[in-house]
Amino acid sequence: MAKDRRLIDRLRRGRSEIENHLIDGLVDGRISRRDFMRHGSVLGLSLPLLSATTGAAGFELLLPSPARAATGGTIRVGQIVPAGAIDPVKIADGGGITVLSQVAENLVLSAPDLTAQPLLALSWSPNADGSVWTFKLRQGVKFHSGKEMTADDVVATFDRLTDPENGSNSLSAFTGVLSKGGTRKVDDYTVEFHLDAPNGGFPYVVSTDNYNAVILPADYAGDFEKDMNGTGPFKMVKYVPKQGASFERNPDYWGGAPNLDRVEITFYEDYQPQILAMLGGQLDVIEQIPVLQGAALLSNPDVTIISTPSSAHQEVHMRTDMAPFTDKRVRQAVALTLDRPKLVEGLMRGKAQIGNDSPFMPAFPSTDTSVAQRQIDLAQAKQLLEAAGMADGFEVELTTEKYLEIPQYAQVIQNAVQAIGGNIKLNIMDQGAYYGDAVPGNSPWLDSTMGITDYGHRGVPNVFLQAPLLSTGTWNSAHFNNKEYDGLVTSFVASLDLESQKDTAGKIQRLLLDETPIIYGYFYDFLTATRKGVTGVEPTAMSHLFLQRASV
């Protein structure tokens, strides 16, 4: 890009050192424009500034815009039935998130393009070491009850979620990041988060990625289903557990009243009935379709598939403390048998990105893309096995959950490993049985020698790097225990500046490729189906379904 020094100087004025470092990185060409946008948004650089700096025109925001000509109508949405009561504090599944996203909102939107964008917060910025983050709130936002949202509601929301007494589902996301009392009101529209430890990705912790963290009134009493009192674009009209929910336009929505008159969500027990209902013209949107079951829709000319790239993936863990995987050469050999481009094309119908055996998918701005991609190499795999003293092959049981494409993925691995004499026995169980009590000793997920586990989308890789891989991680099914790795992750998470993040990421990526406790074969797209003619449906890979700009 042309370097307009004067413009750059003007932009740099009044910015913090970290922010200016990012701007310099862009100017010097060390940081790509796209990475600059993504990382700048996390640091809280405002969007006008980001676009001014990059000269990008027409950057598409998922932000609610002032309402266009109201066209009205009702949109009919199909969705898997929420697993339990709709209580924002406890919700833990896609069905609940879809319902919640009609009526309530987070401070920050973790957008599909991996930028962090303002929702109920207008802007945010860290202190020098990233241990205190200050958030400026949007003014004039009203709950459906008519009361204005202020800092008191935000403080109450986060105190509620971080209090172990409340059994919040987001407790694991806040552990080591934010504790009760750490959220402080500065004035009515300013909140400070005093973190347990420096965290460069904190905006994501209060973003839609952490779906429980929607802002509720300070006096919320746990009875959300009664009126679903939030700040969202739609107001609840009726909610019938197990059956469905209907919503009407919120005329006072801060982003302008939505086009649609109504949203009707119908709950289904399974995907197939939703697909049939859409084919029969009875649904406008299916919030999520799995790629294999949804094949009938993928090629249907009357259906538009919204393919949202995501960091969701299926981790193939190998117990580093159990035979035959105690030797890392065996783990590497298994990883080398997979033909990943074929896997993405065949199993995932092209709706996925190839993985390189670390959680750093290529699209994360912090990913070091100079690290070479692991490719199928049977000769090397055989050599490695031989060197590990397993020239005659090995036997192992692969335990996994019956969910999405996982059983088929397990079969692909089973066949691939046969080429090097590996004999894998499959044990595919019901999801509940696979996770068990989710504590070591009582969970096939955490106890099995080899297994496959589904992980949902996150806007930054932090969660994937921590619980499943740290030696103290609670989801560490590979029983990976590597002090060097632990140290690298701690410094990655604390780091505010993109270049040092990238530098640490490169080290982590190389370390994980070498150790291979987990195979990351692909990161799969989140697929939403809409009937032809339906526009403006904006899903996230976390199961939010934003309909404020939709029309039918």
Binding test (CB under 8 A) with another protein, winner from 1, 439, 471, 532 = 439
Structure tokens at 152: 């008191």
Residues 6+ apart with CB under 8 A from 29: none
Whether 515 and 327 have beta carbons less than 8 Å apart is answered as no
Nearer of residues 128 and 438 to another protein, judged by Cβ: 438
Binding test (CB under 8 A) with another protein, winner from 445, 485, 492, 522 = 445
Residues 6+ apart with CB under 8 A from 508: 358, 360, 465, 485, 488, 489, 492
Q: Based on the shown chain and the rule CB under 8 A, indicate whether residue 282 belongs to the binding site for another protein.
A: yes
> Which residues between 297 and 356 bind another protein (CB under 8 A)?
none
Helices (H), 62-201: 94-103, 151-162, 171-174
What is the closest distance, in whole angstroms, from the C-beta atom of residue 280 to another protein in the complex? 4
Instruction: Please tell me whether the peptide bond between 517 and the residue prior to it is cis, using omega within 30 degrees of 0.
Output: no
Nearer of residues 272 and 535 to another protein, judged by Cβ: 272
Whether 154 and 137 have beta carbons less than 8 Å apart is answered as yes
Dist CA 258 CA 66 (whole Å) = 9
How many residues bind another protein (CB under 8 A)? The answer is 45
What is the closest distance, in whole angstroms, from the C-beta atom of residue 401 to another protein in the complex? 9
What is the closest distance, in whole angstroms, from the C-beta atom of residue 491 to another protein in the complex? 25
Q: Based on the shown chain and the rule CB under 8 A, indicate whether residue 171 belongs to the binding site for another protein.
A: yes
Stretch that binds another protein, among 21-29, 77-85, 255-263, 306-314 (CB under 8 A): 77-85
What is the closest distance, in whole angstroms, from the C-beta atom of residue 212 to another protein in the complex? 10
Output phi, psi for 203, to 5 deg: -50, -30
Between strands 74-80 and 285-286, the pairing is parallel
Q: Based on the shown chain and the rule CB under 8 A, indicate whether residue 3 belongs to the binding site for another protein.
A: no
> Which residues between 458 and 497 bind another protein (CB under 8 A)?
467, 474-475
Cβ atoms within 10 Å of 391's Cβ, excluding its own = 12
Q: Based on the shown chain and the rule CB under 8 A, indicate whether residue 164 belongs to the binding site for another protein.
A: yes
Nearer of residues 241 and 487 to another protein, judged by Cβ: 241
DSSP 8-state assignment for residue 164: G
Nearer of residues 337 and 530 to another protein, judged by Cβ: 530
Q: Based on the shown chain and the rule CB under 8 A, indicate whether residue 207 belongs to the binding site for another protein.
A: no
Q: Based on the shown chain and the rule CB under 8 A, indicate whether residue 538 belongs to the binding site for another protein.
A: no
Output phi, psi for 234, to 5 deg: -125, 150
Output phi, psi for 370, to 5 deg: -80, -10
Residues 6+ apart with CB under 8 A from 258: 67, 233, 234, 249, 250, 547, 548, 549, 550
Residues 6+ apart with CB under 8 A from 362: 353, 356, 369
What is the closest distance, in whole angstroms, from the C-beta atom of residue 447 to another protein in the complex? 13
Stretch that binds another protein, among 24-32, 108-116, 267-275, 531-539 (CB under 8 A): 267-275
What is the closest distance, in whole angstroms, from the C-beta atom of residue 514 to another protein in the complex? 27
> Which residues between 405 and 434 bind another protein (CB under 8 A)?
432-433
Question: Mask of contacts with another protein, 85-124, x by CB under 8 A?
Answer: x-x--x-xx-------------------------------
Q: Based on the shown chain and the rule CB under 8 A, indicate whether residue 165 belongs to the binding site for another protein.
A: yes
Stretch that binds another protein, among 49-57, 81-89, 117-125, 516-524 (CB under 8 A): 81-89
Report the SS3 class of residue 171: helix
Q: Based on the shown chain and the rule CB under 8 A, indicate whether residue 292 belongs to the binding site for another protein.
A: no
- Give me the count of residues in the chain: 552
Nearer of residues 401 and 515 to another protein, judged by Cβ: 401
What is the closest distance, in whole angstroms, from the C-beta atom of residue 108 to another protein in the complex? 21
Stretch that binds another protein, among 17-25, 162-170, 180-188, 481-489 (CB under 8 A): 162-170
Q: Based on the shown chain and the rule CB under 8 A, indicate whether residue 36 belongs to the binding site for another protein.
A: no
Binding test (CB under 8 A) with another protein, winner from 169, 311, 337, 358 = 169
Give, for 117, the enclosing helix (H) or strand (E). Answer: strand 116-118
Report the SS3 class of residue 415: helix
Nearer of residues 119 and 518 to another protein, judged by Cβ: 518
Q: Give the amino acid at 241.
A: P
Dist CA 12 CA 19 (whole Å) = 8
Structure tokens at 231: 């700040």
What is the closest distance, in whole angstroms, from the C-beta atom of residue 216 to another protein in the complex? 17
Binding test (CB under 8 A) with another protein, winner from 273, 346, 350, 440 = 273
What is the closest distance, in whole angstroms, from the C-beta atom of residue 434 to another protein in the complex? 8
What is the closest distance, in whole angstroms, from the C-beta atom of residue 88 to another protein in the complex? 13
Question: Mask of contacts with another protein, 222-261, x by CB under 8 A?
Answer: -------------------xxx------------------
Q: What is the 3-state secondary structure (H, E, C) of 216-265?
A: CCCCCCCCHHHHCCCCCCEEEEEEECCCEEEEEECCCCCCCCCCCCEEEE
Stretch that binds another protein, among 4-12, 276-284, 287-295, 358-366 (CB under 8 A): 276-284
Residues 6+ apart with CB under 8 A from 151: 137, 185, 186, 187, 188, 189, 190, 191
CA-based nearest residue to 356, from 204, 201, 525, 505: 505
Dist CA 164 CA 479 (whole Å) = 26
Dist CA 336 CA 379 (whole Å) = 9
Nearer of residues 474 and 490 to another protein, judged by Cβ: 474
Contacts with another protein by CB under 8 A lie at 81, 83-85, 87, 90, 92-93, 164-169, 171-172, 175, 241-243, 266-270, 272-273, 276-277, 279-282, 432-433, 435-439, 443, 445, 467, 474-475
